[in-house]
Structure 1
């Protein structure tokens, strides 16, 4: 199995909606995104699969060393071997890969976030940085596109947090800022025990409002000249915003269920965005 085949398999196994947009890219950019996504899956799997804190830290430290080898020496892992030509071709930065690992380390250190400032740092590291790297791979001319990519990454991660409130709670994790729980009159135990109430609904609606604000801000910052190169991100935005709209009428549903869109609807949304923005 070649490094690229390994990345393709890793990406397929994830079953993520993100991979849907890769098929619309030219082969070199598609291979680059597949390698980047496989890297994100590898380091995320460390957090998901390692219940022992020290083992997780050791593995993430190894990945930091591997990123150093990727940029300065000879990488050992199939994913970083696949990334080797990518970082040169698309001028990706070492610091961004380290930031992603730092985000994963936050997941091993915290299962609560005191306020949005702390949560925003986590979202930046695990999502906005991926957005910045993706924007470079897709291609852009205007620096404002990086602001768009940053905010779109924030919107995606906030959507994930809303969708996964119940699932995360069952793992003992709360990603909604604790000061916002307190202001809404919601206790940690209510979330951990999936106890729906008018207060939890109001709290979740506030989270949806924030995510929508980041979508609006991101899209308002994308220069027209870079719309076509950034089509994969816009396709994903259409899918993720639709997921948010699916949750919005009854936000308390996420306490007990994981809301998902059927594959056909995701494909329809992606194709709709592709056609709409291609004409822009």
Structure 2
């Protein structure tokens, strides 16, 4: 299997949301963007699929070293080899691009140190460092003006990661992680144990409604901040935003019953939603 095929299977298997979102990218940039999304998935799995913190930190340190090797043109992993092959003239591996990737790695490193957040400012720092850095890397790869991309891409990335964490609250809980601030759990009279043990209640529905509305507002505000000149260049991130908003609609129709199942969109609906991202 070559590096491009590896990245495709890792990041965007056929039928996945990422698969349809990436199809909105300019064809010459699709291999690079697929590699970036594959890197994101590799880092995410380092955290989610590693129960031993020591092993997780070892893997995290390896990825930092691999980015150094990538910087020297000596990548050894299929994902970084794909990045190395497709990054020319994209800004993905210039000084700002490398900084975004290192910030992304360290953002996932936060997951190795904590599985709970005391309040919204604490969670927001995680969202900014992880989701914001990743969206900046994606946006700069196709942006008309790379220098200004971080200002509007980072908030969108934070909002998209917030949406993902709200929508996947059940999956995260099964990995021992609850990305709802402790003070908000207390405000709605829901405990982390309730979420981990899949306990539904009116209080949980109220909590989810609050989390959903905040994520929706964050996405809408971030989309509105994309400069008109960049809207066509950012079809991938905009498609992801449209998919996230549509998925929230499905979750609401299911009464926020997300603790025991992952509610998703059908492939044909994903295709339709992303096709409309013009």
Name the TM-score, length of structure 2 as normaliser: 0.90
Q: 3-state DSSP class of the match of 1:176?
A: coil
State whether structure 2 residue 271 is matched by structure 1 residue 267.
yes
State whether structure 2 residue 44 is matched by structure 1 residue 40.
no
Q: For residues 73 and 137 of structure 1, do their structure 2 counterparts lie closer, same or farther at Cα, with a shift above 3 Å needed?
A: closer
Match of 2:137 in 1: 133
| Contact 1:46–1:56 (8 Å) recurs in 2 | yes
Match of 1:27 in 2: 27
State whether structure 2 residue 190 is matched by structure 1 residue 161.
no
Match of 1:216 in 2: 220
Q: Distance in 1 between matches of 2:177 and 2:79?
A: 29
Q: CA RMSD in A?
A: 2.1
State whether structure 2 residue 236 is matched by structure 1 residue 232.
yes
What's the CA shift for 1:249? 4.4
Q: Distance in 2 between matches of 1:74 and 1:2?
A: 16
Q: 3-state DSSP class of the match of 1:76?
A: coil
What's the CA shift for 1:241? 0.5
State whether structure 2 residue 189 is matched by structure 1 residue 180.
no
Moved over 6 A (4+): none
User: Is the deviation greater in 140-149 or in 94-103?
Assistant: 140-149
State whether structure 2 residue 261 is matched by structure 1 residue 257.
yes
What's the CA shift for 1:13? 4.4
Q: Distance in 2 between matches of 1:225 and 1:142?
A: 12
State whether structure 2 residue 8 is matched by structure 1 residue 2.
no
Name the TM-score, length of structure 1 as normaliser: 0.90
Q: Distance in 2 between matches of 1:97 and 1:176?
A: 25
Q: Distance in 2 between matches of 1:122 and 1:251?
A: 28
Tell which has more relative contact order, 1 or 2 (C-alpha 8 A, sep 6+).
2
Match of 2:75 in 1: 75
Match of 1:49 in 2: 49
Where in structure 2 are there 5+ consecutive unaligned residues?
none
Alignment equivalent of 2:205, drawn from 190, 201, 208: 201
Match of 2:105 in 1: 101
Q: 3-state DSSP class of the match of 1:255?
A: coil
Q: Distance in 1 between matches of 2:267 and 2:46?
A: 27
Aligned length: 274
Where in structure 1 are there 5+ consecutive unaligned residues?
none
